[in-house]
Amino acid sequence: AWIEPDFSSEPNRQFYLIYPSILEDWGEYQYKLSSVKNISMISVPENEGEYKASIFENGRQELFSVISILRKMHNEGVEWSEMEVSVPDMDSYGTYIERDFLQNQIPFSIRYSKNLSDYAAGQLFSQIQECVSENYSYDSVKTLFLNDEIPWNRKGTVDDFLLFGRLNNCLCSVEQSETYGKKSVWELSFSSKKHDKRSDVNLNEGIETLYKSLKVNCEALVYAKTFSALKTAWEKFRDDFINQTEIKKLVLSDKIISRCISTLNEFVKIEEEYSDCKVKNPYSFFVKELGKIQYLEQGLSNVVQVLPYRTASCAPYKVHVVLDSAQDSLSVYESFKDFKFVND
């Protein structure tokens, strides 16, 4: 929910929130919603019900057992949509679940939100910032252009640009010096190309043009004085570097970028409403905020649902499997571990 809820306009209606404590962002809304008279809370029942626990030597063995259970249940007539796997530590298990479920043809949907900056497409903005802060070192530029979730314009020139950097030893930035002044390693290499190695790459004039355009666009973003100027700089960067046709095919990446820019648009609107309040570094502020905003892609409903442990605690499924249900990984333990008298 991106908008703060308001129930005051409908005082005669009664609202019921069922198991709100299982929501990841419940803390943000708890105070406001609890104070609304026409909202009733239905809490998670204390009765745990019946369950069966199995012990495994390692996570790999446990995951294989879960796949076997799901397959067995499906063969006995239970629909995939009636099964659920809950995971306390999705960051550690998520990749393995995705890989093994795909290999074993288990249809699934991972319902786990991550910060925008944790997605490859969302990392684009911090990668741009790193290029500027490191004066376009080879590693920073390579990290940017090797982001597989961003389809680049002039892909052939981009590849030649990275090859040029490797052949001409553009491995670190050049800071202020008596010999060269403040120049980047790329600028020095363009004026002293090594023609004895891959001269076809070194003679590609598009490489230098690409670098100059990258430098101008990145610095327009990072050094923007206002969010409005930042938005204009982004539109220029997008048009110059991102293939708009291809990114539409990368559905998740397109959604992530769109969500990031919707956040930027919110900042532009706030800036216009409160013109006296200025942010010292709009781009840095924007990048930090992307690390706080969570995004969850709409998943499929007719498959096995893979959910975080708390969210799945009251899920209405016939088969409910909890992975890695050790004491140090369950949410209940996490809630109390800060108390000094609780032993690990």
Q: What is the pLDDT of residues 181-233, one digit of tens each?
A: 556 778 888 877 665 555 676 667 789 999 999 999 999 999 999 999 999 99
d(CA 7, CA 34): 12
Burial 23-60 (b: 16+ CB within 10 A, else e): eeeeeeeeeebeeeeebeeeeeeeeeeeeeeeeeeeee
DSSP three-state, residue 109: strand
30-44, 261-275, 282-296: segment of lowest average pLDDT? 30-44
Name which of 302, 247, 310, 335 is nearest 113 in CA terms. 310
Name which of 233, 183, 191 is nearest 208 in CA terms. 191
Q: Which helix (H) or strand (E) holds 128?
A: helix 124-133
Q: Which two tokens stand for residue 162?
A: 């990275």
**Per-residue model confidence (pLDDT) at position 91:** 80
* String of DSSP letters for 34-80: HT-TTEEEEPPPS----------SSHHHHHHHHHHHHHHHHHTT--G
Instruction: Please state, rounded to an integer, the average pLDDT across all residues of the chain.
Output: 83
Q: Are 319 and 306 in contact (CB under 8 A)?
A: no
Q: Is the pLDDT reported for residue 152 higher than 90?
A: yes
- The DSSP 8-state label assigned to residue 132 in this structure reads H
d(CA 134, CA 171): 11
Name which of 57, 126, 108, 99 is nearest 285 in CA terms. 126
